Structure 1
Amino acid sequence: MHRSRDLPDCHYHSPPILIPPETPTPHHSLYLSNLDDQKFLRFSIKYVYVYKRCISIEMLRSSLSRALVHYYPLAGRLKASGEKEEKLEVECNGEGALFVEAFMDFSADEVVEASRWPNVSWRKLLYRVDAQSFLGVPPLVVQVTKLRCGGMVLCTGINHCLCDGIGSSQFLHAWAHLTSKPNQDLPLHPIHTRHVLLPRNPPTKHFPHPQYTTTNEPFDLNPILQSQPLIPVSLTFTASDILHLKQLCVPSLKCTSFEALAAHTWRCWVRSLGLPSSMKIKLLFSANIRKLMNPEIAEGYYGNGFVLACAESRADELVDANVQHGVRLVQKAKQALSEEYVRSVVDYLEENRVRPDLSATLVISQWSRLGLEEVDFGVGRVVYVGPLLSEIYCIFVPVVGDVEAQRVIVSMPESVVGKFVYYMKDFVEGEDLCM
């Protein structure tokens, strides 16, 4: 069932080096908003890019150095704020991004094939920094792995406290632009300041925030998830598949592709885990708030400009109903978002340095509309883009060559993988959605 294939080892012919900005950059401490330095974002967003042609390492280093002039906080270091012990800020000191070159006896086609069932061996694609804590890892870590076919794997670890998905994609596009068009300026310049999301004085909470508060359920899902190996599952939904899902809701309900696929995935996740019928289940998903604010957050803002929207349902109500029930809950969660709601979240986090409630929760992050598959370093189209691994959250990623298709990547307990895959593709009988 699990057609997993380990990647071979990476061979490092030289030690990692630091790539500083090409020219001097401002030295100061950068304030991070309460949306930036949340405890559950204290990790790196790890992207894997596979190309059939390799870019000159010197060219990549040079263009990265120039990109860091514009995105100089990524060349700095995170530190605890002097004002509050749990608050983080960025010391913009130009120390540099960590860059390492490797070789793997594998081809680009073999990497793409292995992506159907990724496993922990994929961690080899990003250099592991030996640091005592999260703060000791540079905000940007890059590994370029050359392949025997002449292609390469480009893997980046971008600190989530500095960038969200939109922001990290913006940086990658900027780096690629300076690589493929070295004599041109950036089409979009970054906005560094985070003060647009300062908390109010005094902080004011006008809304409940169930994404951060526990449901007090007697049943905790985490022991189940941690009691056995988690197996990454990768399922591709074509444009036709997604249209089929959406048509299950019409004519009584119109919905987006994300709403249909999120509701379907949530329902199948609950169904495969066999949770108690009366248990309250949450779905958390990232929602872009840039256009909710007044004035809107300006284009070029690359910090965390999202909040977690929260849908809730009893397990039996979600499983026994059709996909419409879940879609309505997702839509209700989206409709609850407003500028005042965002301000309430920021103020709530000012007084409560808490993590989201994950006791009975599926978290979905949508990467499929970030333009990740369009990052062009000038050596031809990317043949695969996705996460390094997805061990905690469910991620919707783009499918190269099909803008309307999406891949669902999520790790499931080993004993329920078969059921989850079956339920996910059950609505299109006879068709195999597995990659």
Structure 2
Amino acid sequence: MPCIKGINQLRKPPNIMEVIIQETTTIYPSNPPFNHPHTLSLSHLDTDLNLHVTFRYFRVYANLSNSNPFQLIKNALGTALGPYYPLTGTLRKLEGCRFELHCTPGKGVPIIRASVDYSLESLNYLDELDETFSERLVPNPGLVEAMDHPMILQITLFKCGGYVLGSAVHNMLCDGLGASEFFNGVAELARGVTRMEVEPVWERASLLGPREPVRVEFPFEEFLRLDKEFSPYLQNVGPTVRVCFPMMEKWLDRFKEYLQERSGSRFTTFEALGAFIWRARVKASNIPKDTKVKFAYLMNIRKLLNPPLPKGYWGNGCIQMYVQLTAGELTDQPIWKTASLIKHSKYNANDEYVRSYIDFQKENYEKGITAGKEVSGFTDWRHIGHSKVDFGSGGPVNVVPLSKHFLGSIEPCYFLPYSSVAVEGKEDGDGFKVLVCLRECAKDGFMAEMDKFSRLEFDLG
């Protein structure tokens, strides 16, 4: 039986590879939608301080059509930036610490052209790679540059004709679904349509603004912390590493059967696997048993609201959900109880919960709202469209997030889809991939726990 152990660490290739930066250009909207400076209001979900971070990731393309991807994407991007012109704006901090978007004629999106003198096939399409190299495939703006240019792109051409599209997008402008919607729109234009199927909708302050008067109906302070001086992304837990491993369907099926046998409940993959990984990480990190630890994730609210958000809304349309335990409770209680807590936490997500959270943000924003320390962030990328962005030669053969900052967590976990595109030299298994960031000192213990999972050893109470 195959096991997880031994195939997880992002390995360093045998030779030192250079990413050669050739040029940086700016793409402007091909049909400028305005001719005077103006500001756009952001929602209280957009300006959550946990989202004051640039999200970085890349897509790998085999380029089976042998097109010129740099020119193709440049042209399509220029057209898309007409309706999506807020991506050319500048984030500005207001009094009271909130943010707004300032839009000025003549601004655009920077795009970097780079090259690598290797074929993607020789690098296994970046499935396993040195972190130093992968970091150079995506722009990495500082805080000031990220506010001035909330989107920066990089296209890196490989010797085989394939390429990597690296994206650095400020999280205050959009969540994963919103970014996916934008890139799928650019891809539509690259494939030859004259107009994107879904037109973007802004209206953030009116659709997701606070009520008058505000009304907070849920005890958010039970798991959130008000501390203006605390920065969740500056926590010092020592060196961190990324590990990536396959998750086979037969392992998951047997684990979910195990949970159902003991609890009488059915669990989704996210609930079941999330519980196991959270427990494995906390156990391996040797966190003191009386320390509070949190499981954090995003719940899509677009269809939960009354009325639902309109089609094309590309701002942050998710609410942060939490499960909180002490480290001792998490590691000592039966695993099915943890999965049940994650499952039941979803039941809170409704229109009133979202409106209350927005009102809570308005009342407490200046105090600094954070989830505190020891937060494990989880997100599922399998179904939000990242793997469907097709510029005309097929979708990406790999999608890799680089950000270690997510929902106040510096140790996020991503569930990643396998490619739907078959390419020579790359074989994907069934199931999906899991990418986990964790403190380096916990790596061996964590992978030992995941190796037990692959061997169907679930005797956890």
TM > 0.5? yes
Aligned-pair identity (%): 28
- 8 Å contact from structure 1 (residues 260, 327) kept in 2: yes
The residue number in structure 2 matching 1:180 is 191
- Code of the residue aligned with 1:64 in structure 2: it is L
The residue number in structure 2 matching 1:424 is 450
The residue number in structure 2 matching 1:52 is 62
Q: What whole-Å deviation, never above 9, does each CA across 1:144-188 have from its counterpart, x for those lacking one?
A: 00001111111111221111111000001001110012x342111
SS of the aligned residue for 1:155 comes to strand
Task: Structure 2: state its 5+ residue gaps.
Answer: 1-5, 421-427
Of residues 19, 23, 28, the one that matches 1:10 is 19
Distance 2:298 2:142 in 1: 30
Q: 2:423 matched to 1:395?
A: no
The residue number in structure 1 matching 2:288 is 276
The residue number in structure 2 matching 1:288 is 300
- Code of the residue aligned with 2:43 in structure 1: it is S
How far is 1:357 from its partner?
1.9
Q: 2:51 matched to 1:25?
A: no
Cα distance change on mapping 1:110 and 1:268 into 2, 3 Å: farther
The residue number in structure 2 matching 1:124 is 136
SS of the aligned residue for 1:304 comes to coil
For normalisation by structure 1, the TM-score amounts to 0.89
Superposition pairs of residues 242-261 of structure 1, within 5 angstroms: 242-251=252-261, 252-261=264-273
Distance 1:264 1:165 in 2: 24
The residue number in structure 2 matching 1:408 is 434
- 8 Å contact from structure 1 (residues 43, 159) kept in 2: yes
Q: 2:103 matched to 1:92?
A: yes
- 8 Å contact from structure 1 (residues 214, 359) kept in 2: no
Q: 2:182 matched to 1:156?
A: no
Q: 2:336 matched to 1:329?
A: no
Distance 2:360 2:130 in 1: 37
- 8 Å contact from structure 2 (residues 57, 138) kept in 1: no
Cα distance change on mapping 1:118 and 1:167 into 2, 3 Å: farther
Cα distance change on mapping 1:131 and 1:197 into 2, 3 Å: closer
Distance 1:119 1:430 in 2: 30
Distance 1:55 1:160 in 2: 31
The residue number in structure 2 matching 1:108 is 120
Superposition pairs of residues 197-276 of structure 1, within 5 angstroms: 197-209=208-220, 210-213=222-225, 226-251=236-261, 252-276=264-288
- Code of the residue aligned with 1:297 in structure 2: it is L
- 8 Å contact from structure 2 (residues 10, 243) kept in 1: no
Q: How many residue pairs are counted as aligned between the two chains?
A: 420
How far is 1:193 from its partner?
1.2
The residue number in structure 1 matching 2:425 is none
How far is 1:383 from its partner?
1.1
- 8 Å contact from structure 1 (residues 211, 356) kept in 2: no
Q: 2:374 matched to 1:360?
A: yes
Q: What whole-Å deviation, never above 9, does each CA across 1:60-81 have from its counterpart, x for those lacking one?
A: 1110000111211112221234
- 8 Å contact from structure 2 (residues 73, 190) kept in 1: yes
SS of the aligned residue for 1:203 comes to coil
For normalisation by structure 2, the TM-score amounts to 0.85
Distance 2:223 2:388 in 1: 32
Distance 1:130 1:317 in 2: 39
Distance 2:133 2:52 in 1: 22
Task: Structure 1: state its 5+ residue gaps.
Answer: 216-220
Cα distance change on mapping 1:214 and 1:88 into 2, 3 Å: closer
Q: What whole-Å deviation, never above 9, does each CA across 1:295-315 have from its counterpart, x for those lacking one?
A: 011121100011111112232
Cα distance change on mapping 1:407 and 1:358 into 2, 3 Å: farther
Supply the RMSD in Å over aligned alpha carbons.
2.5
Distance 1:308 1:112 in 2: 35
- 8 Å contact from structure 1 (residues 311, 332) kept in 2: no
Distance 1:335 1:348 in 2: 19
Q: What whole-Å deviation, never above 9, does each CA across 1:174-225 have from its counterpart, x for those lacking one?
A: 01110012x342111111110211111232222111442279xxxxx999x7
Cα distance change on mapping 1:36 and 1:207 into 2, 3 Å: same
- Code of the residue aligned with 1:379 in structure 2: it is S
- 8 Å contact from structure 1 (residues 366, 395) kept in 2: yes
Q: 2:358 matched to 1:383?
A: no
- Code of the residue aligned with 2:121 in structure 1: it is D
